[in-house]
Amino acid sequence: MGSASRVRRWGVLVAVLALGGCSTADSDAARPAPTLPHNSTSSAPARSIQPAAGNPWGAVPAAGEVVARGLQVGWGLAFLPDGSALVSERDTGRILRLRPHMAPAEVARLPVAADGEGGLLGIAVAPTYARDHLIYAYYTSATDNRIVRLVPGGASAAVLAGIPKNSFHDGGRIAFGPDGMLYAATGDAGDRPHAQDPASLSGKILRLRPDGRVPADNPTPGSPVWSLGHRNVQGLAWDVRGRLYATEFGQNRFDEVNLIRKGANYGWPEVEGGGGAPRYVDPLLTWSPADASPSGAAFAGGYLFVAALRGERLWQIRFDSAGGAPQARGLFLGRYGRLRTVAAGPDGGLWLVTSNRDGRGDPRPGDDKVIRIPVPG
């Protein structure tokens, strides 16, 4: 199949250059989970989370400062060059700008079809924002999930459309990598075999040029697919060496952190956790879904931080430079409720977005919130 045919099949829409005017993710906790196929070879991975020996962590971070409150299901978070933040509201389609000591200000509103886990999800700020003022958003429309770009107060233009949607497993995280490319995490949208189908956008990590074109060095010519075999990825983060890590929701046995490699297959639905066939990549570490349901991820202070929904904590993960098993500790257990997003701020802090009003949490006064905490160590 030629590149042009692939593009038509996937429903890729390349944005015009001139813009006009310029689960929840842990759904299995709420419904009986289907069993894995009879041919599944799922088993525990060789390396699971180990308790930290001694105290390699430094002090436990102090309680956070509330930056914004009263959000209607906060989801994505990104920072502008001036240090202010943008946060997305899943159910309203609003993108709000947060500045110190000022009320949140709406800068854009997208026509979302909010249903279950769908709505306005991830947002990202273009590396070229100082020149073009472009921001990117992943949202659920009436027909699909799609990625658009826009300038604050202006019209949006499609970057990629045709990502399958459902009321659960919509993925939704987007982020620019150190290479300047736009990465997008998609869920299997409830159709598990599509995660193994290279012609489907479901259950993948995608890699695009900022204008929506497919980079020439992607694994398959003309295809935005960077990796496959994912169930529902909602966290993307790069370490100081430029390596991409992703958090993934399991079905009912193992949530995962994966080190993402170009063109690699992470096994879903044939494998949950590790121990599958050699053609599948095992996770670096796993949790029980009750302890995690991992969404956002960020590197800061030499650690990987993972926001947990059902686990209601912030996981701090330490990787052994000598190749030993990762170590982890949970922070703020139950203090803020369900955590959707963690992001490293330009101010040196970690910013959290709660998701207690997503239909599976217990809202607290002021929910949902954006909270800033100091980075430990």
pLDDT at residue 246, as a whole number: 98
* 3-state per-residue secondary structure call for the chain: CCHHHHHHHHCCCCCCCCCCCCCCCCHHHCCCCCCCCCCCCCECCCCCCEECCCCCCCCCCCCCEEEECCCCCEEEEEECCCCCEEEEECCCCEEEEECCCCCCEEEEECCCCCCCCCCEEEEEECCCHHHHCCEEEEEECCCCEEEEEECCCCCEEEEEEEECCCCCCCCCCEEECCCCCEEEECECCCCHHHHHCCCCCCCEEEEECCCCCCCCCCCCCCCCEEEECCCEEEEEEECCCCCEEEEECCCCCCEEEEEECCCCECCCCCCCCECCCCCCCCCCEEECHHHCCEEEEEEECCEEEEEECCCCEEEEEECCCCCCCCEEEEECCCCCCCEEEEEECCCCEEEEEECCCCCCCCCCCCCCCEEEEECCC
Regions of the chain where pLDDT drops below 50: 1-25, 27-53
Domains of the chain: 3-28+66-275 (2.120.10.30)
